[in-house]
Amino acid sequence: MNAGTPRKPVHLAVYDTLADWEPGHATAHLARAGWEIRTVGPSTAPVTSIGGLRVQPDLALADVHPEDSALLILPGADLWDTGDDLVPFARTARAFLDAGVPVAAICGATAGLAREGLLDDRDHTSAVSFYLAATGYAGAARYVETDAVTDGNLVTAGPTEPVAFAREVLRLLGVYEGEVLDAWYRLFHDSDPSAYAVLEEAGAL
Protein backbone atom coordinates (compact mmCIF):
# COMPACT_ATOMS: atom_id res chain seq x y z
CA MET A 1 0.00 0.00 0.00
CA ASN A 2 1.40 3.39 -0.96
CA ALA A 3 1.70 6.11 1.66
CA GLY A 4 -1.49 8.12 1.71
CA THR A 5 -3.56 5.37 0.07
CA PRO A 6 -6.70 4.77 2.15
CA ARG A 7 -6.83 1.32 3.68
CA LYS A 8 -9.81 -0.71 2.49
CA PRO A 9 -12.18 -1.98 5.18
CA VAL A 10 -12.55 -5.53 6.39
CA HIS A 11 -16.03 -6.92 5.84
CA LEU A 12 -17.56 -9.18 8.49
CA ALA A 13 -20.53 -11.25 7.38
CA VAL A 14 -23.40 -11.29 9.89
CA TYR A 15 -26.55 -13.39 9.72
CA ASP A 16 -29.06 -15.02 12.01
CA THR A 17 -27.50 -17.75 14.23
CA LEU A 18 -24.07 -16.15 13.82
CA ALA A 19 -21.55 -17.79 16.18
CA ASP A 20 -20.57 -14.72 18.20
CA TRP A 21 -17.29 -16.02 19.59
CA GLU A 22 -15.65 -17.07 16.34
CA PRO A 23 -14.61 -13.78 14.65
CA GLY A 24 -14.17 -11.73 17.84
CA HIS A 25 -10.40 -11.97 18.29
CA ALA A 26 -9.80 -11.21 14.63
CA THR A 27 -12.10 -8.22 14.38
CA ALA A 28 -11.12 -6.74 17.75
CA HIS A 29 -7.41 -6.80 17.03
CA LEU A 30 -7.82 -5.63 13.45
CA ALA A 31 -9.85 -2.69 14.75
CA ARG A 32 -7.21 -1.92 17.40
CA ALA A 33 -4.61 -1.91 14.63
CA GLY A 34 -6.60 0.70 12.71
CA TRP A 35 -8.69 -1.37 10.32
CA GLU A 36 -12.31 -0.39 9.76
CA ILE A 37 -14.71 -3.31 10.30
CA ARG A 38 -17.94 -3.16 8.32
CA THR A 39 -20.73 -5.67 8.92
CA VAL A 40 -22.50 -7.24 5.95
CA GLY A 41 -25.90 -8.91 6.20
CA PRO A 42 -28.24 -10.57 3.71
CA SER A 43 -29.93 -7.14 3.79
CA THR A 44 -29.60 -4.21 6.16
CA ALA A 45 -32.29 -5.68 8.42
CA PRO A 46 -31.06 -6.60 11.92
CA VAL A 47 -29.84 -10.15 12.55
CA THR A 48 -29.59 -12.08 15.81
CA SER A 49 -26.58 -14.15 16.83
CA ILE A 50 -26.56 -17.47 18.67
CA GLY A 51 -25.82 -15.52 21.84
CA GLY A 52 -28.82 -13.25 21.32
CA LEU A 53 -26.86 -10.21 20.16
CA ARG A 54 -28.82 -8.04 17.75
CA VAL A 55 -26.63 -6.70 14.96
CA GLN A 56 -27.61 -3.98 12.49
CA PRO A 57 -25.57 -4.62 9.30
CA ASP A 58 -23.74 -1.68 7.78
CA LEU A 59 -24.28 -3.03 4.28
CA ALA A 60 -26.32 -5.55 2.35
CA LEU A 61 -24.37 -8.35 0.68
CA ALA A 62 -25.41 -7.14 -2.78
CA ASP A 63 -23.56 -3.88 -2.12
CA VAL A 64 -20.21 -5.48 -1.24
CA HIS A 65 -17.60 -5.83 -3.98
CA PRO A 66 -14.10 -7.34 -3.83
CA GLU A 67 -12.41 -4.23 -5.15
CA ASP A 68 -13.70 -2.27 -2.16
CA SER A 69 -12.54 -4.71 0.51
CA ALA A 70 -9.37 -5.92 2.19
CA LEU A 71 -10.91 -9.15 3.49
CA LEU A 72 -14.23 -10.97 3.85
CA ILE A 73 -14.71 -12.84 7.15
CA LEU A 74 -17.35 -15.59 7.21
CA PRO A 75 -18.22 -16.84 10.72
CA GLY A 76 -20.06 -20.04 11.43
CA ALA A 77 -23.83 -20.16 11.92
CA ASP A 78 -26.49 -22.84 12.21
CA LEU A 79 -27.88 -21.57 8.92
CA TRP A 80 -24.86 -22.91 7.01
CA ASP A 81 -26.18 -26.44 7.64
CA THR A 82 -29.95 -26.01 7.62
CA GLY A 83 -30.71 -24.73 4.14
CA ASP A 84 -29.58 -22.45 1.33
CA ASP A 85 -30.00 -19.09 3.06
CA LEU A 86 -26.26 -18.42 3.17
CA VAL A 87 -25.35 -19.70 -0.30
CA PRO A 88 -25.05 -16.08 -1.54
CA PHE A 89 -22.25 -15.52 0.98
CA ALA A 90 -20.34 -18.53 -0.39
CA ARG A 91 -20.81 -17.21 -3.91
CA THR A 92 -19.49 -13.85 -2.79
CA ALA A 93 -16.47 -15.64 -1.33
CA ARG A 94 -15.85 -17.12 -4.77
CA ALA A 95 -15.96 -13.66 -6.32
CA PHE A 96 -13.48 -12.38 -3.72
CA LEU A 97 -11.04 -15.24 -4.25
CA ASP A 98 -11.33 -14.96 -8.03
CA ALA A 99 -10.43 -11.28 -7.67
CA GLY A 100 -7.44 -12.06 -5.43
CA VAL A 101 -9.06 -10.64 -2.30
CA PRO A 102 -8.70 -12.70 0.89
CA VAL A 103 -11.48 -14.67 2.54
CA ALA A 104 -11.41 -16.12 6.08
CA ALA A 105 -13.97 -18.80 6.97
CA ILE A 106 -14.47 -20.58 10.27
CA CYS A 107 -16.71 -23.43 11.45
CA GLY A 108 -19.90 -23.82 9.40
CA ALA A 109 -18.71 -21.31 6.83
CA THR A 110 -16.09 -23.85 5.75
CA ALA A 111 -18.91 -26.23 4.83
CA GLY A 112 -20.49 -23.46 2.79
CA LEU A 113 -17.24 -22.99 0.91
CA ALA A 114 -16.92 -26.76 0.45
CA ARG A 115 -20.36 -26.92 -1.15
CA GLU A 116 -19.34 -24.04 -3.42
CA GLY A 117 -16.29 -26.03 -4.57
CA LEU A 118 -13.81 -23.57 -3.10
CA LEU A 119 -11.96 -26.16 -1.00
CA ASP A 120 -11.48 -28.77 -3.73
CA ASP A 121 -8.08 -27.42 -4.75
CA ARG A 122 -6.92 -25.61 -1.61
CA ASP A 123 -5.45 -26.82 1.68
CA HIS A 124 -8.00 -26.26 4.42
CA THR A 125 -9.33 -27.36 7.79
CA SER A 126 -12.61 -27.27 9.70
CA ALA A 127 -14.21 -28.80 12.79
CA VAL A 128 -13.45 -32.40 11.71
CA SER A 129 -12.81 -33.98 8.34
CA PHE A 130 -16.07 -35.95 8.24
CA TYR A 131 -18.06 -32.75 8.76
CA LEU A 132 -16.83 -31.49 5.41
CA ALA A 133 -16.99 -34.94 3.83
CA ALA A 134 -20.74 -34.89 4.46
CA THR A 135 -21.03 -32.01 1.99
CA GLY A 136 -19.96 -34.33 -0.84
CA TYR A 137 -17.11 -32.03 -1.82
CA ALA A 138 -14.08 -33.20 -3.78
CA GLY A 139 -11.39 -31.71 -1.55
CA ALA A 140 -10.96 -34.35 1.16
CA ALA A 141 -7.36 -35.00 0.12
CA ARG A 142 -6.51 -31.36 0.90
CA TYR A 143 -7.91 -31.48 4.46
CA VAL A 144 -5.28 -30.68 7.13
CA GLU A 145 -5.65 -31.74 10.77
CA THR A 146 -4.50 -28.52 12.45
CA ASP A 147 -5.91 -25.47 14.21
CA ALA A 148 -6.08 -23.14 11.20
CA VAL A 149 -4.83 -23.17 7.62
CA THR A 150 -3.90 -20.46 5.15
CA ASP A 151 -3.65 -21.40 1.48
CA GLY A 152 -3.02 -18.37 -0.68
CA ASN A 153 -5.79 -15.90 0.10
CA LEU A 154 -8.01 -18.32 2.01
CA VAL A 155 -8.00 -18.90 5.78
CA THR A 156 -10.00 -21.74 7.33
CA ALA A 157 -10.44 -22.90 10.93
CA GLY A 158 -12.73 -24.95 13.15
CA PRO A 159 -15.14 -23.60 15.78
CA THR A 160 -12.83 -24.19 18.74
CA GLU A 161 -9.97 -22.17 17.25
CA PRO A 162 -10.96 -18.48 17.16
CA VAL A 163 -7.49 -17.42 18.33
CA ALA A 164 -5.67 -19.47 15.69
CA PHE A 165 -8.16 -18.15 13.14
CA ALA A 166 -7.30 -14.60 14.19
CA ARG A 167 -3.58 -15.40 14.08
CA GLU A 168 -3.87 -16.38 10.42
CA VAL A 169 -5.94 -13.29 9.60
CA LEU A 170 -3.45 -11.00 11.33
CA ARG A 171 -0.61 -12.69 9.48
CA LEU A 172 -2.37 -12.51 6.12
CA LEU A 173 -3.05 -8.78 6.43
CA GLY A 174 0.43 -8.07 7.79
CA VAL A 175 -0.80 -6.73 11.13
CA TYR A 176 1.77 -8.75 13.08
CA GLU A 177 4.48 -11.14 11.97
CA GLY A 178 7.35 -13.22 13.25
CA GLU A 179 8.11 -13.00 16.97
CA VAL A 180 5.32 -10.50 17.60
CA LEU A 181 2.67 -12.69 16.00
CA ASP A 182 3.94 -15.70 17.92
CA ALA A 183 3.80 -13.73 21.17
CA TRP A 184 0.28 -12.52 20.38
CA TYR A 185 -0.86 -16.11 19.91
CA ARG A 186 0.89 -17.33 23.06
CA LEU A 187 -0.74 -14.60 25.10
CA PHE A 188 -4.31 -15.02 23.89
CA HIS A 189 -4.28 -18.78 23.32
CA ASP A 190 -1.96 -20.03 26.07
CA SER A 191 -2.16 -17.18 28.63
CA ASP A 192 1.65 -17.07 28.50
CA PRO A 193 2.72 -14.05 30.61
CA SER A 194 6.16 -13.98 28.97
CA ALA A 195 4.48 -12.79 25.77
CA TYR A 196 3.58 -9.41 27.34
CA ALA A 197 7.12 -8.04 27.13
CA VAL A 198 7.41 -8.81 23.42
CA LEU A 199 4.05 -7.23 22.65
CA GLU A 200 4.70 -4.16 24.81
CA GLU A 201 8.05 -3.56 23.13
CA ALA A 202 6.39 -3.83 19.73
CA GLY A 203 3.53 -1.52 20.74
CA ALA A 204 1.06 -4.31 20.04
CA LEU A 205 -0.98 -4.10 23.25
pLDDT digits (tens, 9 = 90+) for 49-94: 999 999 999 999 999 999 999 999 999 999 999 999 999 999 999 9
Listed as ranges, residues in the chain with pLDDT below 50 are 1-4
14: left (phi over 0), alpha (psi -120 to 50) or beta: beta
Residues contacting 44, CB < 8 A, separation 6+ = 56, 57, 58, 59, 60
* Neighbouring C-beta atoms of residue 93, cutoff 10 Å: 24
Choose, from 73, 74, 107, 195, the residue flagged as catalytic: 107
Size (the chain), residues: 205
Q: Is 107 a catalytic residue?
A: yes
Whole-structure pTM value: 0.95
Q: How far apart are CA 111 and CA 100, in angstroms?
A: 21
